[in-house]
Amino acid sequence: MRKCRAESLGNCSDSLSREHTVTAGLFPADVVNVQGLSWCKIEPKSVGLASVTRKILCGTHNNALSPVDSAAIAAFDVFRECVRLTNARELVKETIWRVVHLPIDGSGLERWFLKTLINLTTGGIQKLGPKSLVPGEPSADLVEIAFGLRQFAPNAGLYSSAEKGEGVTSEDRVSIIPFFDANSEYVLGGTFYFRGWRFMLHLSEEGFTGNVRFAHSNGNPVSSYSRPLRHLRQMRFTISPLKKRVSHVVDFKWK
């Protein structure tokens, strides 16, 4: 049997199970477009969701991550609802409406980004995280964080970034761009476009210490530098033409 990537936790079951590289429950269709993996780096390919899997977790540890998948699915649904509310309220004449608060489990979503980054980079030529000792394998501390047994160091973990006036196309899509240390020895983190919204996961204890230039999901650079914010608390949505009146708020909950 090939090794379970969470074997450092112990209690592995006897066989490896099929782990979806990106959680299947995010997408309403059975067919998705995939790009960026070793077999589709240049052009996207349409494949069935059932085929975008890897045998990198035993059944016991695969099942243990179900709550993390649920947190990501719930967050995806929140961003869908943001689009629905925006579209519906833009058709209404000027009024003062009830502000809708939509909660997201920030801690669970942070673990999902880590789990997904590990899914994508396991077996590669870089070490997974600054403390990893073996190329293609996550360090034991990252495995424990993904399974909720410890937390990221104070400056590591999930960040977000947005420019003033930056357009966001929110649709059923996830884009993932790993980034590496200066010597390309290990995976340092990843930039995620999660239904159009940009999040960054930093695996090292120093985190983002200043302004950083990020690529948009279409590969184009942003027009200016954006300072990432760790553990975002709120996203506030206003409706045109009532630019100053809040319609709905996404509240991130952190443990």
Q: pLDDT category, 16, cuts 50, 70, 90? A: very high
In sequence order, the 6+-apart residues with CB closer than 8 A to the CB of 93 are none
Instruction: Establish if 45 belongs to a structural domain.
Output: no
Residue 92 vs residue 207, higher pLDDT? 207
Q: What is the DSSP-derived secondary structure letter of residue 169?
A: -
E strands, 62-126, are 100-105
Determine the structural domain holding residue 165 and report its residue range: 67-253
Q: What is the pLDDT of residue 24?
A: 81
Instruction: Establish if 230 belongs to a structural domain.
Output: yes
Distance separating alpha carbons of residues 213 and 222, to the nearest angstrom: 7
Instruction: Establish if 61 belongs to a structural domain.
Output: no
| Residue 191 amino acid letter | T
Instruction: Establish if 51 belongs to a structural domain.
Output: no
H or E element that contains 75: helix 66-89
Instruction: Establish if 43 belongs to a structural domain.
Output: no
Q: What is the pLDDT of residue 1?
A: 43
Distance separating alpha carbons of residues 19 and 2, to the nearest angstrom: 14
Question: Into how many domains does the chain fold?
Answer: 1
Instruction: Establish if 203 belongs to a structural domain.
Output: yes
Instruction: Establish if 39 belongs to a structural domain.
Output: no
Instruction: Establish if 76 belongs to a structural domain.
Output: yes
pLDDT tens digits for range 127-184: 999 999 999 999 999 999 999 999 999 999 999 987 766 778 888 888 888 889 989 9
Q: What is the DSSP-derived secondary structure letter of residue 77?
A: H
pLDDT tens digits for range 212-251: 776 555 556 555 557 789 999 999 998 876 667 889 999 9
